[in-house]
Structure 1
Amino acid sequence: METYNIYLVEDEANLSEVLKAYLQKEGWNVTVFLDGNAAIEAVPDKPHLWVLDIMLPGTDGYQVLKAIKEQEDTPVIFISARDQDLDRVLGLEMGSDDYLAKPFLPQELIIRVKKLLNRVYGTSSAESQKIELNNYSIDPIGRTIVDLEANNDTVDLTTKEMDLMLLLSADIGKAFSREKIIEHVWGENYFGSERAVDDVVRRVRKKMPRIHLETLYGYGYRILSS
């Protein structure tokens, strides 16, 4: 699989290190910029992808995006914690290829990056992004799960069941709190009971009995490899 060069522009040092670690885990080369001026100076490098925060000290993300699009047609993912609708519209009008609102899970960024790289360059095999777990084949791009022990039948999951499985299976062994699962699967504006998570987990266990979906009492869930 090709090694992509990704330039990440994020002024929050702790967040940039976390995102860098997740991106590097996928085998990509990642360079971090903490301000817009440094990023603009690096535009001639022509990386494969920019992940660009809008709110930056001094030169903001819009100016960086303008500089990128003036010199090259490199794909850009905008990230922002500001007015989501306004930033999304302005970013797309200026040429960004995708938009991710803060706060987000690092794995959500990984999925967006994979989709964009595959769409733009077409060299990242969808097969290489599939996860095989207990004889289930999980395709995060196509959002399908196939049971390899049952004639390759597709496992029929609801949207929320699929979202839960993609979240947990993307980071085997990592524990996710109910709060984080709610945020990812239902969204930040959900005001219902966290027990909704338990109900979705119960249904997934019934439909995918070989998956070791472990309960961490008083906290949340995780998927183990065996």
Structure 2
Amino acid sequence: MQRILLVEDDHSISEVIHHYLTKEDFQVELAFDGEEGIRLFQHNSYDLILLDLMLPKLNGIDFLKLIREQSNIPVLIISAKDGEVEKALGLGFGADDYIAKPFSMIELTARVKAAIRRATQYSSSEPAEEKVLQVHDLTIDIENVSVLKIGKPLQLTSTEWQLLKLFATNPKKVFTKEQIYRSVWNEDYFDDQNIINVHMRRLREKIEDDPSSPQYIKTLWGIGYKWGEF
């Protein structure tokens, strides 16, 4: 049974999520403030964290910073702070996805399952025709799910890895944002470009020498993205 840590100070919302996800065969543990959430995380093992941003004692962004110092566990932000700035802020600190309140439990469950599935693919070995790809300064080990840049390991989130793998293993293909979303998130695309933009920016900050002038993942304006040629 997959375990979820829900960090949410609204008891009524926590009860609804706990009840629904339990029926979906998840084990859900509750924390009602950031400090309690950190304590539970440090003493238990989880497959995903559901995190509200507006928390007492330790806010969601500071909570996320602490988590990212220790783990790449998928984190799904649930918050009433709905706006492009807040979304980018949350994702920029290492969240894997964002869902704004109010949301349907069907949508939340789908996002939870997709995030765990991506993380599982990221941590498991996967057979591939080419197990190691050498592209300029990057060494991309598909089987062992690792990336080196000039011999130094890069720490990618599961979503960043899936994006990098998508482009590196399809070097001649141009991907639209809809195709990227369907391939990486395994969900229907509802024109939520912000999520893709933020994840792409974070990935470029890690793999590119100059993220403002990317060489590995090129932008084709008005079309999508394509793996660079070296």
Q: TM-score, normalised by structure 1?
A: 0.52
- Identity level (%): 42
Higher alpha-carbon Rg: 1
Q: Which amino acid aligns with 2:94?
A: G
Deviation at 1:40, TM superposition (A): 1.2
Tell whether 2:45 aligns with 1:58: no
Q: Which residue of 2 aligns with 1:193?
A: none
User: Is the contact between residue 43 and residue 71 of structure 1 (CA under 8 Å) also seen in structure 2?
Assistant: no
Please give the per-residue CA displacement for 1:137-190, whole angstroms capped at 9, x wherever unaligned.
Answer: xxxxxxxxxxxxxxxxxxxxxxxxxxxxxxxxxxxxxxxxxxxxxxxx9xxxxx
Q: Which of 2, 11, 14 in structure 2 is aligned with 1:13?
A: 11
SS of aligned partner of 1:71: coil
Letter in 2 for 1:100: I
Contact 2:73-2:119 within 8 A present in 1 as well:
no
Separation in structure 2 between the aligned mates of residue 118 and residue 32 of structure 1, nearest angstrom: 22
- The residue type paired with residue 81 of structure 1 is A
Any conservation in 1 of the 2:7–2:49 contact (CA below 8 Å)? yes
Return the offset for 1:83: 4.1
User: Counterparts in 2 of 1:83-122, with a 5 A limit?
Assistant: 83-122=82-121
In the TM superposition, structure 1's runs of 4+ consecutive aligned residues that sit over 6 Å from their partners are none
In structure 1, C-alpha distance between the alignment counterparts of 2:82 and 2:13, rounded to whole Å: 20
Check whether the contact 2:82–2:100 (CA below 8 A) recurs between aligned residues.
no
Count of residues in Structure 1 that have an aligned counterpart in Structure 2:
122
- Which residue type is aligned with residue 56 of structure 2? P
What root-mean-square deviation, in Å, do the aligned CA atoms of Structure 1 and Structure 2 show? Answer: 1.7
Deviation at 1:118, TM superposition (A): 1.2
Partner amino acid, structure 1, of 2:119: V
Match of 2:67 in 1: 68
Q: Which runs of 5+ in 1 are unaligned?
A: 124-184, 186-226
1: CA distance, partners of 2:121 / 2:82:
33
For structure 2, the residue ranges without an aligned partner over 5 or more in a row are 123-189, 191-230
Partner amino acid, structure 2, of 1:92: L
C-alpha distance in 2 between matches for 1:46 and 1:72: 11
Take 1:119 and 1:94, find their aligned partners in 2: how far apart are those partners?
18
Q: Deviations over 1:66-124 (max 9, x none)?
A: 1111111100000111242122101111110000011111111001001111111149x
- Residues in 2 aligned to 1:58 and 1:76: alpha-carbon distance in whole angstroms: 19
Write the letter of the residue equivalent to 1:48: D
Within 5 A, what are the aligned runs for 1:54-203? 54-122=53-121
Contact 1:80–1:100 under 8 Å retained in 2: yes
| Pick aligned residue for 2:29 from 28, 31, 35 | 31
CA contact (8 A) 1:9 1:39 kept: yes
Separation in structure 1 between the aligned mates of residue 28 and residue 41 of structure 2, nearest angstrom: 14
